Homo-oligomer: A and B are copies of this chain.
Amino acid sequence: MKKKLETLIKKVAKGEISPEQALRELEGFPFDDLGFARIDHHRLWRKGFPEIIFGQNKTSDQIIKIAQSILKAGGNLIITRINQEAYQKIKNKIKNLTYNPQARIAYCQQDEPERGKGKIAIISAGTSDIPVAEEAALTCELLGNEVDRIYDVGVAGLHRLISEMEKIRQARVIIVVAGMEGALPSVVAGLVKAPIIAVPTSIGYGASFNGLAALLAMLNSCPGGVAVVNIDNGFGAATVASLINHL
């Protein structure tokens, strides 16, 4: 949408279109009021990434209308936390929609996102943490970043982590995803210089209390250089990591 606006302004400047035409094009700027939702088309400029639809708790109808508003404004569409069933309901109403079931993300890129400067490494402790790691990885990619996936290298077998250290050290930012005791971000943080965004997952049972154990562990991380996002919030980690990688 940024490009669209620049083009518009240049056209007006060159007299190619009248200001009235430009304004009609810009209807719904800086936000579009659908009654139940106000689409923040201005966000990409302010925040460095576009408004993204959090699919959970929204009806298919609401998702479709918000998506159409974003696409009409020329933006890139990213819908997170959308399951197979909801995707089936909306896919016919939105052209060129791609779905990644593991990451539970549907998306449609109309515009090339600005490229990040380095790589973002996404490290997961276990196989069960992969859906959250994939939400982070795909979001990073959709926001213009190159991603390195390094999965199932939890602290139970340190040699698996150590064997990947060279790759990990090449990352400009690191996202570490772990459930259970949430120890992996601390261990990685002791070994690298890159800032680490830690994502606790709800993987575990009993005294994991749906990810609380991992969350608390990560917040108490000793080595420094670690910041934390919400439980299972692969998306949130990706937004922070992408902003950092675009600096």
Binary interface encoding of chain A residues 59-85 relative to chain B, with 1 for a CB under 8 A from any of its CBs, else 0: 000100010000000000000000000
**Quick one: given A155-B186, A219-B213, are A225 and B239 in contact (CB under 8 Å)?**
yes
Residue of B nearest to A129 (CB): B57
Chain copies in the assembled complex? 8
Interface flag for A22 (CB, 8 Å): no
Question: How distant is A75 from chain B, measured CB to nearest CB, in Å?
Answer: 14
Interface flag for A235 (CB, 8 Å): yes
How many angstroms from the CA of A247 to the CA of B200 in the assembled complex? 25
How many angstroms from the CA of A35 to the CA of B153 in the assembled complex? 11
- The answer to whether B228 and A206 have CB atoms under 8 Å apart is no
- The answer to whether B211 and A187 have CB atoms under 8 Å apart is no
* A207 neighbours in B (Cβ, 8 Å): 211-212, 215-216, 219-220, 230-231
Interface flag for A208 (CB, 8 Å): yes
Return the contact of A240 from the options B38, B42, B226, B232 (Cβ within 8 A): B226
Interface flag for A204 (CB, 8 Å): yes
Interface flag for A52 (CB, 8 Å): yes
- The answer to whether B230 and A205 have CB atoms under 8 Å apart is yes
Interface flag for A86 (CB, 8 Å): no
Number of interface residues of A (CB under 8 A): 97
- The answer to whether A208 and B213 have CB atoms under 8 Å apart is no
* A30 neighbours in B (Cβ, 8 Å): 159
Within 8 A of B (CB), among A144-160: 151-160
- The answer to whether A222 and B155 have CB atoms under 8 Å apart is yes
How many angstroms from the CA of A207 to the CA of B49 in the assembled complex? 24
Interface flag for A100 (CB, 8 Å): no
- The answer to whether A205 and B235 have CB atoms under 8 Å apart is no
- The answer to whether B225 and A227 have CB atoms under 8 Å apart is no
* A interface residues with partner B (beta carbon < 8 Å): 30-31, 35-38, 40, 42-43, 46-49, 51-52, 54, 56-58, 62, 66, 117-118, 125-128, 130, 151-160, 163, 172-173, 180-183, 186-187, 189-197, 200, 202-233, 235-237, 239-240, 243-244, 247
- 16 A-B residue pairings within 8 Å (CB atoms): A31-B163, A37-B151, A40-B157, A47-B189, A155-B223, A156-B222, A158-B191, A180-B220, A181-B216, A194-B243, A195-B244, A207-B230, A213-B216, A219-B228, A225-B239, A226-B240
